[in-house]
Amino acid sequence: MAKLQQQHSNTAGWAPPSVQKRWLLTLLIMLSVSTLIAFFIKSAFDSCDPPHPHNFDVAASNKPAKVFSNSIKTAPSPLSFMKSKLVLLVSHELSLSGGPLLLMELAFLLRSVGTEVFWITIQKPSETDEVVYSLEQKMLVRGVQVLSAKGQEAIDTAFKADLVVLNTAVAGKWLDAVLKENVPRVLPKVLWWIHEMRGHYFKLDYVKHLPLVGGAMIDSHVTAEYWKNRTQERLRIKMPETYVVHLGNSKELMEVAEDSVAKRVLREHIRESLGVRDEDILFAIINSVSRGKGQDLFLRSFYESLQIIQVKKLKVPSMHAVIVGSDMSAQTKFETELRNYVMQKNIQDRVHFINKTLTVAPYLAAIDVLVQNSQVVS
């Protein structure tokens, strides 16, 4: 974190205290990245987990990427115990949003140590979808086997698997729908990777099997605590053994981050395409546009800052905001609200919407401040 802060916020000291305070009140400014990869570690599955030398809790240890890529070169991968194991990954959908992309990164990490990886997408659009198609191709090329969510092959693979990863709370519905009476047989080897922290996912429908799975993996301590509370208080069920595994940074991002020439080229290119000058301050939020991700708060804060600057006649560089993760075909209502707000406040020339993309490195290189919506429950 500290490292990225240096890299991306070289101008973070620009704002007068009043403006900064306003920002901090509304938003937790964190320099982080949105395409993250996670390393699941730990001995959730003791049977296939001989002790391994490296603790891989990347985010928690705050180690610079260099240290860790060196350790990869000089020592066997900490995941090498997964070689020749069979892993079934169950995704609620296949899209350019955080959940599925994290799971894909996990698939590729596992492939890189010789794990046999199967992938299931529960919900697919009925027509051929360009995004689904290209993501599936990407997986096939890297040796991930893509299965239909239903049917005997899915069931057989779940039986054979050493590990079944259910991704997101919603994926819980797959268990009963497909495995039916065989659910209990599979539960002990399920690792349930939960990313959500909003109320409507606490439905017994989704999560009733939680107490009996092999383990749950959650991205932060706050979220883990929240789940523990909610499941107990609302649903009267108990969380299984829960592992908090912070998300790490992808190798691609770290490479760009360390290459000052690449960073400068990308920065110039993106800024030019947005009509943002080098001396301007560029804020960004990089997330699928949806209500829970806080793009509305981001825009409101941005607009308020612009007003404060105007009212107080502050001498600061001109400010721009970019929202990466636009998808007018999915979250139409919310995004329309956002776009209307921008029009209404007449800040179209300051706010830029960018479609969802796998390639976020150029945007990270181009911006000065990445704003991350606070995940703290209040």
Binding residues (CB under 6 A) for ligand NAG: these are: 225-226, 229, 327-329, 355, 377
The residue among 16, 9, 17, 19 whose CA lies nearest residue 307 is: 19
d(CA 214, CA 194): 13
SS3 339: helix
Least Å from the CB of residue 184 to ligand NAG: 30
Task: Decide whether 1 or 377 has the Cβ nearer to ligand NAG.
Answer: 377
SS3 188: helix
DSSP letter at 235? I
Task: Decide whether 182 or 229 has the Cβ nearer to ligand NAG.
Answer: 229
CB atoms within 10 A of CB 364: 26
Type and span of the H or E element at 202: none
d(CA 37, CA 170): 20
Type and span of the H or E element at 349: none
Task: Decide whether 140 or 376 has the Cβ nearer to ligand NAG.
Answer: 376
Do residues 377 and 197 make contact, with C-beta atoms less than 8 angstroms apart? Answer: yes
Task: Decide whether 145 or 375 has the Cβ nearer to ligand NAG.
Answer: 375
The residue among 376, 259, 297, 228 whose CA lies nearest residue 305 is: 297
Least Å from the CB of residue 346 to ligand NAG: 23
The residue among 268, 296, 289, 294 whose CA lies nearest residue 353 is: 289
Task: Decide whether 144 or 323 has the Cβ nearer to ligand NAG.
Answer: 323
Task: Decide whether 94 or 178 has the Cβ nearer to ligand NAG.
Answer: 94
Least Å from the CB of residue 130 to ligand NAG: 10
Least Å from the CB of residue 229 to ligand NAG: 4
Least Å from the CB of residue 232 to ligand NAG: 8
Three-class HEC string of 65-115: HHHHHHHHHHCCCCCHHHCCCEEEEEEEECCCCHHHHHHHHHHHHHHHCCC
Task: Decide whether 152 or 378 has the Cβ nearer to ligand NAG.
Answer: 378
d(CA 320, CA 132): 32
CA angle 296, 300, 305 (to 5 degrees): 150
Least Å from the CB of residue 370 to ligand NAG: 21
Task: Decide whether 229 or 260 has the Cβ nearer to ligand NAG.
Answer: 229
Task: Decide whether 85 or 352 has the Cβ nearer to ligand NAG.
Answer: 352
The residue among 124, 129, 115, 127 whose CA lies nearest residue 149 is: 124
Least Å from the CB of residue 348 to ligand NAG: 16
Hey, what are 308's tokens?
């404060």
